[in-house]
Structure 1
Amino acid sequence: MAVINVSPADGKVIAEGPVGCLVDVCCDDFRHLDIGLPPEILRLKDAGYLSQAIEACDRLLAQDLDSSLAACVRAERYRMIETPLHFSVSRDRAIEMIREEWPEFTDEQFDDLIERKRIDWRFIDGELFVLDNFLDSLRVYPKEVPGLRPDSADGIALRNQMLEEMESQGGLSRTITLKASVSVPGALEGEAVRAWLPVAATCRQQSHIEVLDMTSEGTVASEDASARTASWTSSTKHSFSVTYRYQIDAAYRDIYGGALPAHPCMDAPLPEDTSEDRPHIAFTPYLRQLTERVIDGLEDPLDCARAIYDYLTQHIDYRYQPPYLLLGSIADDCAHSLRGDCGVMALTFITMCRIAGVPARWQSGLYVAPDSVGPHDWAEFYTPQTGWLNADVSFGSSARRMGEEWRRRHYFGNLDPWRMVANCRFQAGFEPVFNGMREDPYDNQMGEASVDGRGCRQREMLRTVELIEMLEVPFSD
């Protein structure tokens, strides 16, 4: 099969050679990242000598290793192979790209943005390379880069109107119909293509789920699967789609406004909701110290969760991230760097809540606005007096950035009806099991595919999700 690269400029599909992950690595290997590389390999990796570090990994893997160390080395080796694909813009090219919009931009201004952690970068073979979508991160804070075109403000007024209605009415409900699709245009005749597309799962706020249409010979995982998908295996088809409808109910509670009514909970926390899930939900020394400081003097679980949310939304800046498989200990790194995206912030909130003894868990899927649909992650937390509630830290951080304190407060305890929940656990496996290495070993929002057991990379798949219909329906808590 041929590698498929889709040019964002013209949509052309270009063949580039063998497809899929040809490295002997699997998703479970990424559970062992905290084992750590041997120091001599780690020094090469940290210095950016990735080719030498990969060769050192190969020599080590040829030996009889402990299974956990071997898994870590395989995962780290794969991360080093992937790094240059995403940190691909040289310093000179990055400055040139900024000057295409802002001619007066100087080298010194670029160095200042690097120093202030506004641009994510890596050293590769002695040269600084920045993340390929660094311009998107810069546009989030237009005052810092006044010469760049700012992010579009389309949809903000409509969103705020929806949130105001939700707060005034005590909640909103929507019935939403989505169509998701994935294709592997480079698959050759006779090759076995497997595909998985996320679909709505039964959860606290989501119900009345119907699969309306899907490519033939597919199966749908159970409604309560940790990562619910529709899936197919075929030697003749290369494109797959599923259309589904669901109801989303978004109750509103003023968590900052005083006493809350008791809320019965039919879904009690599990032991895993208060435990580590390494390597990314890890109770590191710094996170323990930070959490202790943030909740100092507080005993009520709701007060603790609110203090953690307040700290994160007021201190963490939104920045686009590389693929999560390139990140280290996600929550601990976020606490140190004070930057992240929706999933990074959600994991940090979950980790700190669990350290504080407040049950917390992952939710992810899609943010479904009337004018756009895209991947999104957030969190749930539990207190005895409220049951499970939601927290969307990245939306709260965004509200703080825009000076909308009311909206920042809204997203502690509440979401909105513009959601699709497909996943309730970070790094959940698929039903049926994925063979090979997933594009994203941690989450599933746009779909995955493999060819003859080799997991497809993002550039080898065409993936879309389309809003077919959104209907307002009466809300009942």
Structure 2
Amino acid sequence: MYQDLSFMKVPLPEDVLKLKIYGDYAGTQKMIRYFLEEKDIPQALRKRLEIEQEVIGVMGGNEYPFTYDEALEIMTSHLRDFKKEELDHLKEISAADWIYIDGEVHFQRRFYENLIKTRPDYAKRVITENPEDEKQNHINQNLLNDNIHYMKEHGGRTVHTRIRSTIKAKKEFEEVGRKVRVHLPIPKVYEQVSNVEIHASNPEITYVAPFDAPQRTVYFETELKENQEFMIEYSFDYHVNYVELDPAKVSEEQPDFCLEEQTPHIVFTPYLRELRDELAGDETNPIILARRFYDFVTTKVMYSFMREYFTIECIPEYCAINLKG
């Protein structure tokens, strides 16, 4: 069902919110049904509650599967000398994402992977069965550092990439003989992407979207065969410039597009306006301002894997308040 997510800006009724925070998702759904079926409510609130029915389905599903004991077992089995007190601390400082489900703490499905990616001290304690994995991680980091130095020295870099992409129906959904319509994404040509070339496909392509299509795909239309796999192999050049920003070279003409609000996530809330004013101060140079906002995000906000974005009412405000995202 299509949902107009702009209605996520509408607040939830207090009784719905209390049940949601406690993690009583069955009770939350029951309360929402009461509002929708028994009360004469404004259309804006009705649409908000209809969206919340979907949100609760995600939150109460497999987004937070691990109980406290299960999370502790994951950490102690993967990290050397991990202690219960460490998990308590990670929970207390919101480094390990958690919610209440029926009043009990549950951790997010990727909480362990998130900690390993964002906290080097924990990454060093991972119990690795294969030493080659640790060696490969070191190689990858060196490649990244070398690439940064190369781009600074040469003003950018072009990389040639070749990709083979496939898709097939799961066996339980396979309907042999049925006409199917299949799309596989391919690159569009724009400032950074050029020399897009299709090398192979299976079956024969029915239609290729033009180079400037907003969402470019190849399209297959055929009668489905048993165990049929749809494949496209293509290559392209990807170029990125390295630009050393100089506040003294700022143009007097600044962009005026894509600056408007777009609910629910591009909203100039009172808190975000206060944060903007605090970071900007009396500065007017766009590059210096951009650097201040960049520094806030990269030094004050902890990078973190997030739960499904659909369940967050306003992503930038969530990030600026919780200092993670």
Query: Is 1:94 paired with 2:80?
Result: no
Higher helix share: 2
| Amino acid across the alignment from 2:189 | T
Q: 1:112 to 1:76 in 2, by over 3 A?
A: same
Structure 1 position 192, deviation (Å): 7.1
Structure 2: gaps (5+ residues):
129-133
Aligned counterpart, 1:187: 173
Q: Does the 8 Å contact 1:98/1:148 carry over to 2?
A: no
User: Are 2:67 and 2:107, in contact at CA under 8 Å, matched by a contact in 1?
Assistant: yes
User: Who is 1:200 aligned against?
Assistant: 187
1:182: how far off? 3.0
Paired letter, 2:169: V
Aligned match of 1:281:
266
Matched-pair contact (CA < 8 Å) for 1:50–1:124: yes
What SS is found at the alignment partner of 1:153?
helix
Aligned to 1:252: 242
Match of 2:154 in 1: 169
1:293 aligns with 2:278: yes
Distance 1:60 1:235 in 2: 46
Give yes or no for the alignment of 1:132 onto 2:109.
Answer: yes
Does the alignment pair 1:236 with 2:224? yes
Contact 2:5–2:263 (CA under 8 A) maintained in structure 1: no
Taking the TM superposition and a 5 Å limit, the aligned residue runs for 1:45-444 are 45-62=20-37, 67-83=43-59, 84-102=61-79, 104-139=81-116, 140-143=118-121, 147-149=125-127, 152-185=137-170, 186-189=172-175, 195-215=182-202, 216=204, 218-232=206-220, 236=224, 239-255=229-245, 259-260=248-249, 269=255, 271=257, 273-340=258-325
Distance 1:189 1:202, change over 3 A: same
Q: Larger Cα Rg: Structure 1 or Structure 2?
A: 2
More divergent stretch after superposition (279-288 vs 322-331): 322-331
Q: CA deviation at 1:234?
A: 6.0
Q: Give the drift of 1:111.
A: 1.1
Q: TM-score, normalised by structure 1?
A: 0.58
Report the secondary structure of 1:249's partner residue: strand
| Residue range with higher mean Cα deviation, 145-154 or 326-335 | 145-154
Contact conserved, 1:101 with 1:149, CA < 8 A, in 2? yes
CA contact (8 A) 1:29 1:74 kept: no
What are the superposed Cα offsets for residues 417-466 of structure 1, whole Å, 9 maximum, x if unpaired?
xxxxxxxxxxxxxxxxxxxxxxxxxxxxxxxxxxxxxxxxxxxxxxxxxx
Give the Cα–Cα distance (whole angstroms) in 2 for the partners of residues 299 and 116 of structure 1. 35
Deviations 1:357-385 (A, max 9, x none): xxxxxxxxxxxxxxxxxxxxxxxxxxxxx
- How many Å separate the matches in 2 of 1:33 and 1:217? 40
1:92 CA displacement:
0.5
Structure 1 pair 225–91 and aligned structure 2 pair: CA distance change class (3 A) = farther
CA contact (8 A) 2:205 2:218 kept: no
Q: What is the SS of the residue equivalent to 1:54?
A: helix
Letter in 1 for 2:120: P
Aligned twin of 1:38: 13
Amino acid at match of 2:57: I
Alpha-carbon spacing, 1:62–1:308, altered in 2? closer, same or farther (3 Å): same
Give the residue type in structure 2 aligned to 1:157: N
CA distance in 2, matches of 1:57, 1:101: 41
Choose 140-149 or 42-51, whichever is displaced more: 140-149
2:221 and 2:52 map into 1 onto residues whose CA distance is 30
TM-score for both structures, normalised by structure 2 = 0.82
CA distance in 2, matches of 1:75, 1:235: 37
Percent sequence identity over matched residues?
A: 25
Q: How many residues align?
A: 309
The one-letter amino acid paired with 1:210 is E
User: Per-residue deviation at 1:101?
Assistant: 2.8
Contact 2:91 2:97 in 1 (8 A): yes
CA RMSD of aligned residues (A): 3.0
**1:205 to 1:72, Cα distance in 2 relative to 1, 3 A:** same
| Alpha-carbon distance, 1:169 to partner | 1.3
- The one-letter amino acid paired with 1:128 is V
User: Displacement, 1:144?
Assistant: 5.3
Structure 1 residues 211, 327: CA separation in 2 closer, same or farther (over 3 Å shift)? farther
Equivalent-residue separation in structure 2 for 1:192 and 1:321 (angstroms) = 38
Instruction: Go from structure 1 to structure 2 and tell me whether the alpha carbon gap of 1:195 and 1:79 turns closer, same or farther (over 3 Å shift).
Output: farther
Offset at residue 261 of structure 1 (A): 8.9
Q: Which residue of 2 aligns with 1:360?
A: none
Aligned residue in 2 for 1:29: 4
Answer yes or no: is the 8 Å Cα contact 2:156–2:242 preserved in 1: yes
CA contact (8 A) 1:133 1:320 kept: yes
Following superposition, the deviation at residue 217 of structure 1 comes to 5.1
Deviation at 1:214, TM superposition (A): 4.0
Q: Distance in 2 between matches of 1:161 and 1:187?
A: 46
